[in-house]
Amino acid sequence: MGDPSTTQYGNDGRANVLPVNPASGPGFLGPDYSPADQMLAPSAIGVRRGDSLGDVLRAIKGVAYYGDMIGFGGPSSPFTQGMPGLNPLGVNYFINSGLQCSNGATMWEYVQTIPTGNALGSTIKNALASSGLPGLRGMAPGIIEDAESALNPFPVINAVVGSGYPQCRLVRMKVGDYDGKIQNVDGKLLVDPEGLLLGSNGAYYQERWIQDRQPASNRRDGETTSEQYLRGDAIQLSYDAWSATPKIFKDNGCLDPSGNAAPGTLQPYFCSPQARSNVQVITLGDGTRVNAYALQSSSVQSLEAFENFTLKAKPTAAVSVTVAAISVACLLAFHMFK
């Protein structure tokens, strides 16, 4: 089978019908992250074999702890308040789509595997909040969110009827796990190594060009601007329109010096001389070294308005929806009738 970058299709004179770049970063199978490795063992939360009353109470707390990890991703009662490691599991990161934006930059997709708490809709979410319970951000609701994303036909339809020539938008998004770590328990990097930004809050960000969208015309009750934007249609261009757009950015998203860009044209922060003058070298647990650019207060731009939106859920979604729903229902029943 021929190399897709050099194969000619039919009578089309172009070497490749679609503008495809080599993939990089975590890849379509996602980073080397296992929720089981991140969850603390019983001994780490104080559970041990014994016949004293204290041992029994610690065992009860252990049951409540793992119940909260499955259902809520946070403490739901005084039993688990303050226990270590009780956070939503998952990693948020960018994937290189392999496509080229109309401006010349590589197009990325933002993948969110940390549960958002919207698995059962806003009504349940608001009801839990009014009862003093945390959102449904545990492993079971996360499975439901993954399945909802997998059953969403829009990405498939967009891939079939879309032109493959995207118009893009620059966004800044948080990357890493819930605690802001960018490496797993074995010290391996979970995100793409290029263009890491380190915020003053200790969290890591990256700026990438993603497919632009036409925001939905109406805003639903309780919906944020970002969520309204995400419901919009992806902007696809014809080949002629895509080809006619000046390619003023390089593959890495930075301005091409030979692209004749207008003064003040927005580009990722890591491309600027200011960022390159404040680089921090981070040594990972496996010995790998990566550069992170410290964000200054003067670098805060309108990009941060898009800090909390996501474009794509986990690409390999689980299908155990029934088990997840039963687990969540049992947890809710436990807290309603205890």
pLDDT tens for 187-197 read 999 999 999 99
CA–CA dist 239, 167 (Å, integer): 11
pTM above 0.85, yes or no: no
Residue 169 belongs to what H/E stretch? Answer: strand 168-177
CA–CA dist 315, 208 (Å, integer): 18
pLDDT in tens, the chain (338 residues): 455 445 544 555 555 555 566 556 677 678 888 888 888 888 888 888 888 888 888 888 888 888 888 887 888 888 888 888 888 988 999 988 888 999 999 999 888 888 877 667 666 666 666 666 667 777 777 777 766 666 565 555 555 555 578 999 998 989 999 989 999 989 999 999 999 999 888 899 999 999 898 888 887 666 677 767 777 888 889 889 999 999 999 999 999 998 788 888 999 999 988 888 889 999 999 999 999 999 865 444 434 444 433 333 333 333 333 333 434 444 444 444 44
Distance, first Cα to last Cα, the chain? 63
Per-residue pLDDT, 162 = 56
Cβ contacts of 231-240, under 8 Å, gap ≥ 24: 234/158, 234/162, 234/166, 235/166, 235/167, 235/211, 236/158, 236/162, 236/163, 236/164, 236/165, 236/166, 236/167, 237/102, 237/163, 237/165, 237/166, 237/167, 238/163, 238/165, 239/163, 239/165
Q: Where are the domains of the chain?
A: 88-260+267-337
- Which among 224, 197, 205, 15 is positioned nearest to 122, based on CA atoms? 224
CA–CA dist 284, 183 (Å, integer): 7
pLDDT tens for 269-312 read 999 888 888 899 999 999 999 999 998 654 444 344 444 333 33
Distances from the Cα of 24 to the Cαs of 113, 155, 191, 315, in angstroms? 19, 21, 10, 16
- Report whether 108 contacts 209 (CB < 8 A): yes
Per-residue pLDDT, 190 = 93
Per-residue pLDDT, 14 = 53
